[in-house]
Amino acid sequence: MRNYLRNIYQTLKTILVGMRITIGYCFARTITVQYPDVAPTVLPRFRGFHYYEIERCIGCDLCAKACPVNCIYIEKSAPRKLDKETGLAMGGAIKRYAIDYSKCMFCALCTEPCPTQCLHMGNNHDLSVYNRASTVVEFTELAKQGLQTPMPIWAQKRQPPEWATRTRQAWLDRAKPKREVMLLAMTERQPAPKPVVAATAESAVATAEPTTPTTAKPATDNR
């Protein structure tokens, strides 16, 4: 009996707590952000659509393996590795790098294991599209256009609001100096061969000194 009454009490209490919060919001002042005319607030650690630096990607698949919903697709022609001198990945070509945003949960688990830190959660908060197929973002196709992140519809308008123009320009400026190497990442190329180290004077003398002639053993006649 005591348990029965306690359960009734707990139920009524939780309903009242929930209703108090709901009623509080009913009488709160309404705030309407006039998006897209006014910029939305995007906090510094916001996890938006990725931006991807293809020129440093070694195609190791670690991001795809870490993804809990398997929404990253990678194709490469051969293994790639990072050239320490240039900081660019070389070897095979990146044929495809795509993310299906109809599945992505923006958990950032893909960015954690990336050994070259070339995959980032960006500040792009909006990717409205007109059909389901467009939710799969082909980052290799973007790289051909010199882009690291997909452009939202508002960024493609002729006269976007002032904040949108600034955001779009920041994304373009970030990718602009890398356009050439982004294109090269989709082609096969090898690091330049290391220059041969010139022989030092000492080693040259040592090489010039006559060596003790070895006495060649006469071939044993086994006949």
Kindly state the smallest distance separating residue 164's Cβ from ligand SF4, in Å. 24
For residues 10 and 117, which CB has a smaller minimum distance to ligand SF4 in the complex? 117
93-121 core/surface letters (b: 16 or more CB in 10 A; e: else): bbeebbbbbeebeeeeebbeebebebbbb
Kindly state the smallest distance separating residue 150's Cβ from ligand SF4, in Å. 13
For residues 33 and 69, which CB has a smaller minimum distance to ligand SF4 in the complex? 69
Kindly state the smallest distance separating residue 103's Cβ from ligand SF4, in Å. 7
Token readout for 110 is 């893909």
Token readout for 187 is 């082609």
How far apart, in Å, are the Cα atoms of 113 and each of 105, 120, 168? 17, 11, 28
For residues 63 and 164, which CB has a smaller minimum distance to ligand SF4 in the complex? 63
Kindly state the smallest distance separating residue 69's Cβ from ligand SF4, in Å. 5
Kindly state the smallest distance separating residue 155's Cβ from ligand SF4, in Å. 21
For residues 118 and 164, which CB has a smaller minimum distance to ligand SF4 in the complex? 118
Kindly state the smallest distance separating residue 74's Cβ from ligand SF4, in Å. 5
> What is the contact surface with ligand SF4 in residues (CB under 6 A)?
57-63, 66-67, 69, 71-72, 74, 99, 104-110, 113-116, 118-119
For residues 59 and 150, which CB has a smaller minimum distance to ligand SF4 in the complex? 59
Do the strands 119-124 and 49-52 form a parallel or antiparallel pair, or are they unpaired?
A: antiparallel
For residues 112 and 162, which CB has a smaller minimum distance to ligand SF4 in the complex? 112
Burial of 19 from C-beta contacts in 10 A (0-12 / 13-18 / 19+)? exposed
DSSP 32-90: ---TTTSPPP--TT---EEEE-GGG-----HHHHH-TT--EEEEESS-EEEETTTTEEE
